[in-house]
Amino acid sequence: MLGQAVAAAATRLHHEVLAPSGAELDVTDPAAVREDLAAFAPAAIINCAAWTDVDGAESHEAEALAVNGEGAGTVARAAAAFGARIVHVSTDYVFDGAAREPYAEDHPVAPVGAYGRTKPSGEQAVAAAAEDHAIVRTAWLFGAGGRNFVDTILGLAAERDELEVVADQVGSPTWTGHLAPALVEVAERRDTGILHAAGAGRCSWYELAVEAIDRAGLLCRVVPTTAARFPRPAPRPAFSVLGRTRKESPVLPPWQEGLAGHLAAKVPTGAGGKA
């Protein structure tokens, strides 16, 4: 989902782009990574490869760590060897959700689940491997080309008269259409360290669902509920709003604008409907 958006954004900005899929390049294979980089000789790498199955990571933490931790380090070491800048994508799930104010870039990490534990390992591996690096944490991604909360909710709302959606988890929804060009910009610069980039503002999953259904013009009642009513294999942070205290951290538009952009992109040219 994010990788496709990044490749499209970089191409629009007139960069020459190599964007292998996971099937084409295994980031846990150092020899394959070095071979690809040697052939392409990139000036910068934006690493969007990740194990993103949060619930699956609970029972497959070693496999998730191989991609999110060791794989991140493999890509960063190869980047450093070839003199390429590395931009690594991380997550709000590195935090425990106990805060009540947005998390700053330097706030101590304290993940509550297996997926969250694998991501700081990747951050540390990248920082140790490459001097010219940026680690960009983002949150609650949605966009074309992959499974995401917004599209799932819209699909359910088209089939049902009522939905229950969790209202006691709060975060920063982020459209890949806004994040992708920001990542390309970070790759073009020389700012290093940890940066935060997420849709401006905050909301609960319930509020995001209400806004998406309303903007899509669907008739479905949304009922707020609690995370305890819908237990999942992996715990989620109750509060994972990302703050921006470094001037180098990209400023993204409000999450509502991202939602509008995503829905507009889903409507074929000339079609009606709210967007």
- Could you give the residue numbers annotated as active site? 115
Computed on alpha carbons and rounded to an integer, the radius of gyration of the chain in Å comes to 19
Q: Which amino acid makes up residue 15?
A: H
Q: Which amino acid makes up residue 232?
A: R
Give the whole-angstrom CA distance, residue 209 versus residue 205: 6
Q: Which amino acid makes up residue 42?
A: P
**Nearest Cα residue to 67 out of 8, 25, 18, 109:** 25
Read off the tokens for 177.
């259409």
Give the whole-angstrom CA distance, residue 196 versus residue 90: 9
Q: Is 94 helix (H, G, I), strand (E, B) or coil?
A: helix
Q: What is the DSSP letter of 142?
A: E
